[in-house]
Chains A and B, each alone.
Chain A
Amino acid sequence: MDMHPRIHDEPRSEFDRVIPNESELTAGVRIEPGKSYGFFTDTTVCIGCKACEVACKEWNNLPADNLGLTGQSYDNTGSLSANTWRHVAFVEKAGPDGVRGNTQPSFQSGWLMMSDVCKHCHNAPCLEACPTGALFKTEFGTVVVQQDICNGCGYCVPACPFGVVDINTLDGKAHKCTLCYDRLKGGLEPACAKSCPTDSIQFGELNDLHARADRRVEQLHGLGVDSAYLYGVPGGPGATGGLGHLNAFFLLTERPEVYNLPVAPTNPSSRIVPSLLSGLAAVAGLALLAVGLLANRE
């Protein structure tokens, strides 16, 4: 196999070829088509280092969006966009009177940090809305935009209930996280999960992740963090209104809105039939009136 030219910078590297199924070493999971993969993002261990943001930009060759400071805690990224597929949110919790208290329980509990990403919904509204078939469900259960098909109609952008998908006005195509489709094809763990130093972002097969997340919530409840819950698991907040489960789900300790997430999003395509039928009924009624007035033969 051809190697990246920079491999020769390190002649004593012990690897003379790509490690097959590398994800078994780094994430403990073999990547096989036909199974459903995703991310479990445990916000209680996120330290806000933004390694995921950097790894994502490096691997996917994405430019920076913003070189300035927002003044919103350490969040200078702002939001997910066409060029930003991981975004670490920073929240400094207030005391009861709106002022940050100077007495806090231990373990950085005054901070909330969350690495946000495309949720890869089971019934993805962006995919359902796409009129060209550019958005598709991969063999790994993830949702990807095919850049050679997308014509930039932009309909996936308002379809997304999480405000993830975005149009890049320079190339005129829709972009979002691919859950490193190319890496999954090569047996590699997604870049963000691999780079996460605290395993706040865990990559794996969805059933395994759900079991692991349930255990983590139980453990946290045992430690006294009663507010811990899962966002995006079947039946939970985030996985409402016909979206099914979210392949990228989260462990949160505050209301979803605090992290800029909706509590009960809906699948927009559920509104097509009622809307079309009412509109057609109104036009049909007016057409009947017109028949009565205009279509007489005298």
Chain B
Amino acid sequence: MPDRVTLHDPYDKAATPAVTHDTLSVGDWQGPTYYRRPQLKAAPFGNWVVGGYIFCAGLAGASALISTIAGFGRSPQEAGLTRRGRYLALLGPLSAALLIYDLHTPKRFYNMLRIAKRTSPMSIGTWILMSFSSFACLSAAAQFLSDHVPGLRWMRRAARVTDVPAAVAGAGLSTYTASLLSATSTPLWAAAPRSLAVRFGASSVAAGAASLSMGEPSGATRSKLDAVTVAALAAELAATLASHESYRRKGVAEALDGGWGQVEKLGVTALGTVLPLGLQIASSVVARRKPGILSDVASVAVLAGSLLLRVSILAAGDSSAERPGISFRFSQPDNLP
């Protein structure tokens, strides 16, 4: 038996395209793919629905946290801030509807409550959301009763008690959503677990402080809230730079090449972080005593940036999962923990 078999090639060699395992060059990785077919499956989430939930939950959690801290002072000027924070925290329980809407079998949403599991951020998040919602509803109800029912002014003290667990759960609610994304195999979400969590947490605090600032009549309190916003934006900006560095180091930076990657760079970083930072600094110089229109514009930009951050990370992550060059580069041995 001959060692090598010569096959008849019916086609002109030059005219035959090389339909083989496609070699793909992505960033610093060059290697085979399987017909450029995705190696991973993208998350079947509605990006605006889940992004909207992450935004609302972060805003609600941070509002509860900030209003609880303001409540510690018991100063009459900050009573209004505490009240608005307690009502704004209701956005948390309300946005749970978005999560249920995003299930593919919504009528079975209660199956999330069968178990608690520390290996699943979605299970951890379910219980954070449940406890936050319970305490936030109690605080808001106590606030409402003390304001509107004569003889129930003592309920204010009850609200101060339920505020504390709501604030603790609120801190978790404003940041666990980053773990939810990072604890997947989607390259863009998995590549920077620490800095993504700082981005989400800081963005939540910025959004909470910005929305409380917009409704604040007292100029002094408003300046303090704006200072919290500025600090949170600075932390978010630093974490953004850190996560982009992680993407480069782990070879997934090309995942931000697409349209949603541009949104992440321009919409989130420029509109949602750099612009409001500049406006707030300008506002503190121009209107030292009473922040006005500049602070309002900055707050709106912070809110828009915070929402876009979540939606663009979700969408760019999906496309990173569907690009085999990126997922293969990410699953090389040098990226093992």
Q: A residues touching B (Cβ–Cβ < 8 Å)?
A: 70, 72-73, 75, 78-79, 89, 91-94, 98-100, 102-106, 125, 128-134, 149-155, 157-167, 169, 171-173, 240-242, 254-255, 257-266, 268-272, 274-276, 278-287, 289-291, 293-298
User: Do B33 and A291 touch across chains, with their CB atoms under 8 A apart?
Assistant: no
Residue B231 interfacial (CB < 8 Å): yes
User: Do A264 and B331 touch across chains, with their CB atoms under 8 A apart?
Assistant: yes
Nearest Cβ distance between residue A121 and chain B, in whole angstroms? 12
- Can you list the 7 inter-chain pairs with the closest CB atoms, starting with the nearest? A152-B104, A279-B175, A279-B197, A172-B104, A262-B331, A260-B34, A94-B20
- Chain A interface SS verdict (over half): loop
Residue B292 interfacial (CB < 8 Å): no
Cross-chain contact of A271 among B105, B176, B183, B224 (Cβ < 8 A) = B183
Nearest Cβ distance between residue B23 and chain A, in whole angstroms? 8
Instruction: Pick the most buried of A106, A131, A259: most chain B CB atoms within 10 A of its CB.
Output: A131
10 new A-B pairs (CB below 8 Å) besides A105-B4, A242-B337? A72-B19, A94-B20, A106-B3, A131-B122, A155-B43, A160-B41, A162-B39, A264-B336, A268-B183, A290-B69
Name which residue of chain B comes closest to A298, CB basis.
B75
| Chain B residues positioned under 8 Å from A100 (CB to CB) | 16, 18, 20
Q: What bracket does the count of chain B residues touching chain A fall in? A: 35 or more
| Chain A residues positioned under 8 Å from B119 (CB to CB) | 128-129, 269, 272
Nearest Cβ distance between residue B46 and chain A, in whole angstroms? 10
Residue B307 interfacial (CB < 8 Å): no
Q: List 28 A-B contacts (CB under 8 A).
A: A79-B38, A94-B18, A94-B20, A103-B5, A106-B2, A132-B112, A151-B103, A152-B104, A153-B112, A154-B44, A157-B44, A165-B41, A167-B44, A261-B39, A263-B331, A269-B120, A271-B183, A272-B118, A275-B183, A279-B198, A282-B201, A290-B65, A294-B73, A294-B81, A294-B224, A295-B70, A296-B75, A298-B75
Residue B204 interfacial (CB < 8 Å): yes
User: Do B73 and A286 touch across chains, with their CB atoms under 8 A apart?
Assistant: no
| Chain B residues positioned under 8 Å from A73 (CB to CB) | 19
In the complex the two chains form, what is the Cα distance from A275 to B4 in whole Å? 56
In the complex the two chains form, what is the Cα distance from A276 to B118 in whole Å? 12
In the complex the two chains form, what is the Cα distance from A73 to B72 in whole Å? 69
Q: A131-B117, A153-B103, A271-B179 are in contact. Are A287 and B65 (CB under 8 A)?
A: yes
| Chain A residues positioned under 8 Å from B279 (CB to CB) | none
Residues facing A in B175-228 (CB within 8 A) are 175-176, 178-180, 182-186, 189-190, 193-198, 200-202, 204-205, 209, 221, 224-225, 227-228
Cross-chain contact of A278 among B4, B124, B198, B333 (Cβ < 8 A) = B198
User: Do B172 and A280 touch across chains, with their CB atoms under 8 A apart?
Assistant: yes
| Chain B residues positioned under 8 Å from A172 (CB to CB) | 103-105
How many A-B contacts are there with CB distance less than 8 Å?
320
Name which residue of chain B comes closest to A159, CB basis.
B184
Q: A275-B182, A276-B197, A290-B69 are in contact. Are A94 and B21 (CB under 8 A)?
A: yes
| Chain A residues positioned under 8 Å from B239 (CB to CB) | 282
- Interface stretch, picked from B7-15, B136-144, B255-263, is B7-15
Residue B232 interfacial (CB < 8 Å): yes
Q: A279-B178, A284-B171 are in contact. Are A93 and B328 (CB under 8 A)?
A: no
| Chain A residues positioned under 8 Å from B75 (CB to CB) | 296-298
In the complex the two chains form, what is the Cα distance from A133 to B112 in whole Å? 8
Cross-chain contact of A153 among B5, B122, B193 (Cβ < 8 A) = B122
Question: Can you list, as one digit per residue, whether each of B22-45 has a CB less than 8 Å from chain A (1) or not (0)?
Answer: 010000000111110111111111
User: Do A283 and B174 touch across chains, with their CB atoms under 8 A apart?
Assistant: yes
In the complex the two chains form, what is the Cα distance from A167 to B209 in whole Å? 38
Q: A153-B103, A255-B32 are in contact. Are A262 and B16 (CB under 8 A)?
A: no
In the complex the two chains form, what is the Cα distance from A94 to B17 in whole Å? 11
Name which residue of chain A comes closest to B194, CB basis.
A278
Nearest Cβ distance between residue B130 and chain A, in whole angstroms? 12
| Chain A residues positioned under 8 Å from B72 (CB to CB) | 291, 294-295
User: Do A279 and B228 touch across chains, with their CB atoms under 8 A apart?
Assistant: no
Residue B145 interfacial (CB < 8 Å): no
User: Do A266 and B31 touch across chains, with their CB atoms under 8 A apart?
Assistant: no
Residue B1 interfacial (CB < 8 Å): yes
Instruction: Pick the most buried of B34, B39, B106, B195: most chain A CB atoms within 10 A of its CB.
Output: B34
| Chain A residues positioned under 8 Å from B42 (CB to CB) | 157-158
In the complex the two chains form, what is the Cα distance from A294 to B16 in whole Å? 73
Name which residue of chain B comes closest to A240, CB basis.
B336
Question: Can you list, as one digit per residue, whether each of B56-82 has a CB less than 8 Å from chain A (1) or not (0)?
Answer: 000000100110011011110010010
Residue B123 interfacial (CB < 8 Å): yes
| Chain A residues positioned under 8 Å from B7 (CB to CB) | 102-104
Question: Can you list, as one digit per residue, whether each of B87-113 has a CB less than 8 Å from chain A (1) or not (0)?
Answer: 000000000000000111110110110
User: Do A282 and B198 touch across chains, with their CB atoms under 8 A apart?
Assistant: yes
| Chain B residues positioned under 8 Å from A298 (CB to CB) | 75
In the complex the two chains form, what is the Cα distance from A171 to B103 in whole Å? 12
User: Do B337 and A103 touch across chains, with their CB atoms under 8 A apart?
Assistant: no
User: Do B193 and A155 touch across chains, with their CB atoms under 8 A apart?
Assistant: no
In the complex the two chains form, what is the Cα distance from A282 to B235 in whole Å? 8
Name which residue of chain A comes closest to B113, CB basis.
A132
User: Do A265 and B4 touch across chains, with their CB atoms under 8 A apart?
Assistant: no
Nearest Cβ distance between residue B10 and chain A, in whole angstroms? 10
In the complex the two chains form, what is the Cα distance from A67 to B23 in whole Å? 27
Residue B126 interfacial (CB < 8 Å): yes
Residue B321 interfacial (CB < 8 Å): yes
